[in-house]
Amino acid sequence: MDDHQTTILAQNIQALLVEALRITQAQVTPDLAFGDLPQWDSMGHMEVMMLLEQRYNVEINADTIATLTSVAAISAYLQERDHA
Amino acid sequence: MPEFTYEFTTSEVVPEFLVGEVQSKLAYVDEDINKATVSPAGDRITLHLRQSPDKLRLAELEEKTQRVVLSMVKGAYKPKVQVLEDHLDRPIPYNLDPHIELAARGEISQETQGVFALGPLVSRLINYFERRFLELADSFEAAPYRFPTLIPARYLERVKYFQAFPHSLTFATHLREDLDAIDHFAQNAACQHDGALTVPLDTFSPIQTLLSPAVCYHLYFALADQSLPQGKVVATAVGNCFRYESINLSSLERLWNFTMREVIFIGEKEFVLENREIARQRMSGVFEEIGLAYRVESANDPFFIGEFRKQAAFQSAFQLKFEIRARLPFKDSTLAVGSYNYHQDFFGRHLNMTLPDGSPAHTGCVAFGLERMAYAFLAQYGFDPRDWPAAFKEVGL
């Protein structure tokens, strides 16, 4: 993935978190993780998972739900999926 | 009483892992539903109705039922089932429904749906199990607590209980401080044929309290808005719990008013998870001693329809809840008699309960349903003490 694609992916993840968690863009930092914001609680996390499924047309299983708990983890998951 | 059935095709096929959950929620669709069943294939639902409906009413019932199905099934996550222990094949000598024998012996007396008075045999068994659970609590040097049966509505609001479990709430109120209203009640109060008290609703005070649905909540509220000076707490308490389950209420298996013994851990994540696991291992030894046939497997709480899909998936994904499911040989099924729970920092964050470093405390609890323990034991070992494991010699029957 080149720099341009990485930037696009980061922007997409930011937009996804803003929409799912109903937070501002400024709140989405690269090291943001589950539990860092009141909005990213159990219900918020599942909103993120469902929006991820919708946007990227993927089926996320229980094992994956438990691992996608940070911006970095979501980014790595999507990059890996693109390479698959 | 005559019963009318109505069968229709589901808008979404209910997957096998959700059939039981959906079926239990259909109880709350309408007061006219006496029983609801989802076909094993998940494609048909049969409603058993208390009265004959017209076409309009049938359409209404079907629409409400389909709403439940859609909400719970569409996009549902298949739970990750993890079995930590499996002793379901432990040899047991009995295979009849103990409810029948308990009723015949006058050991249980139903006061109303889901509410039973218990006789000496069940009480002695419960006392025995209580002693074993207290031994577990003592092994952690758990501090004893006593909590009230009532719980303020504002407490439950703070931990979003109303959104998660609205269907199972039991409300407590009293007559308004109004001499005329109290006099009128005293002179006119009477129960209808179905047991409902005929009182105008405006006679009651606004609801500020409920009957408590869980034991550990009281401890979390007692420690809310403060830092835990030692950074950790281990406590134990037994209490009356109330969860209304409508037509799902059944014998001692599913009571509206039941008793729960809990051992509660509060502290850092590792402290809570480590102690939950130690508790499971210690109880494994106890269950072996008392010969219980059971399995410990991952589970989820019975969240209401709106939150079910997301909350249940989250609990499953993070392995937050494990149930102790005792075998009920008479129906080739299992019954949850206890659970090992981890709440992450949910209560710490919502109740501002913090560790010395300012971070939210993590919580977990080990909980045992006392009536269910006694019921499951009788379902496995019957009523002749000579058939009981040696550990029960001290029960004194």
Confidence band (pLDDT; 50, 70, 90) for B396?
low
Partner A contacted by B319 (CB < 8 A): yes
Measured CA to CA, the distance from residue B131 to residue B138 in angstroms comes to: 10
Partner A contacted by B346 (CB < 8 A): yes
The per-residue pLDDT for B232 is 97
Q: Is the pLDDT of residue B294 over 70?
A: yes
Q: How far is A38 from chain B (nearest CA, A)?
A: 8
Share of residues in chain B with pLDDT > 70 (%): 99
Domain A3-83 sits in CATH 3.30.559.10:
no
Do B218 and B193 belong together in one domain? no
Query: Are the beta carbons of A66 and B318 separated by less than 8 Å?
Result: yes
Q: Is the pLDDT of residue A83 over 80?
A: no
Do B296 and B347 belong together in one domain? yes
Do B218 and B362 belong together in one domain? yes
pLDDT digits (tens, 9 = 90+) for B166-215: 999 999 999 999 999 999 999 999 999 888 998 888 899 999 999 999 99
Q: Which is higher by pLDDT, B152 or A8?
A: B152
Q: How far is B80 from chain A (nearest CA, A)?
A: 6
Degrees to nearest 5, angle at CA B303 with B281 and A39? 95
Task: Return residues 275-314 of B near A (CB < 8 Å).
Answer: 307, 309-311, 313-314
The per-residue pLDDT for A4 is 82
In chain A, which residues have their Cβ closer than 8 Å to the Cβ of B306?
none
pLDDT, average across residues B361-382: 98
Preferred mutation among B318, B341, B343, B359 to probe A, highest tally of A CBs within 10 A:
B318
Do B92 and B234 belong together in one domain? yes
Do B32 and B141 belong together in one domain? no
Any bridge partners for residue B49, and if so which? B4, B33
Do B223 and B338 belong together in one domain? yes
* Residue B301 located in a structural domain: yes
C-alpha torsion angle, residues A53, B16, B98, B282 (rounded to 10): -40
Degrees to nearest 5, angle at CA B166 with B33 and A64? 105
In chain B, which residues have their Cβ closer than 8 Å to the Cβ of A53?
75
In chain A, which residues have their Cβ closer than 8 Å to the Cβ of B315?
42
Q: How far is B312 from chain A (nearest CA, A)?
A: 10
Q: Which is higher by pLDDT, B8 or B393?
A: B8
Measured CA to CA, the distance from residue A62 to residue A57 in angstroms comes to: 16
Measured CA to CA, the distance from residue B223 to residue B265 in angstroms comes to: 12
Q: Is the pLDDT of residue B328 over 80?
A: yes
Measured CA to CA, the distance from residue B253 to residue B337 in angstroms comes to: 9
Tell me if A16 sits within 8 A of A71, measured CB to CB.
no
In chain A, which residues have their Cβ closer than 8 Å to the Cβ of B316?
62
Sign of CA dihedral B25, B27, B28, B29: positive
pLDDT digits (tens, 9 = 90+) for B84-106: 999 999 999 999 999 999 999 99
The total number of structural domains in chain B stands at 3
Do B193 and B228 belong together in one domain? no
Nearest residue of B to residue A44 by CA position?
B310
Nearest residue of B to residue A37 by CA position?
B349
> What pTM does this model have?
0.92
* Tokens at B167, concatenated: 């269907």
pLDDT digits (tens, 9 = 90+) for B28-84: 999 999 999 999 999 999 999 998 889 999 999 999 999 999 999 988 888 888 999
pLDDT, average across residues B132-141: 98
Q: Is the pLDDT of residue B2 over 70?
A: no
The per-residue pLDDT for B1 is 59
* Residue B145 located in a structural domain: yes
Share of residues in chain A with pLDDT > 90 (%): 54
Partner A contacted by B344 (CB < 8 A): yes
Confidence band (pLDDT; 50, 70, 90) for B302?
confident
Q: How far is B51 from chain A (nearest CA, A)?
A: 39
Do B328 and B276 belong together in one domain? yes
Average predicted confidence (pLDDT) for chain B: 94
Preferred mutation among A41, A42, A47, A54 to probe B, highest tally of B CBs within 10 A:
A42
Partner A contacted by B349 (CB < 8 A): yes
Do B113 and B184 belong together in one domain? no
Confidence band (pLDDT; 50, 70, 90) for A20?
very high
Confidence band (pLDDT; 50, 70, 90) for B152?
very high
> Which domain, by its residues, includes B10?
4-73
Q: Is the pLDDT of residue B218 over 70?
A: yes
C-alpha torsion angle, residues B116, B122, B125, B129 (rounded to 10): -10
Do B182 and B329 belong together in one domain? no
Tell me if A72 sits within 8 A of A28, measured CB to CB.
no
Q: Comparing A58-67, B329-338, B372-381, which segment has the lowest mean pLDDT? A: A58-67
In chain B, which residues have their Cβ closer than 8 Å to the Cβ of A41?
346, 349
Helix (H) and strand (E) counts in chain B: 12, 18
The full set of domain ranges for chain A reads 3-83
Q: What is the CATH number of the domain that holds B60?
A: 3.30.70.100
pLDDT, average across residues B115-133: 97
Do B345 and B217 belong together in one domain? yes
Rounded to whole angstroms, what are the CA distances from B380 to B90, B109, B211, B219, B326? 10, 21, 32, 34, 9
Nearest residue of A to residue B316 by CA position?
A62
Q: What is the CATH number of the domain that holds B236?
A: 3.30.930.10
Asked casually if ipTM beats, i.e. exceeds, 0.85, the reply is no
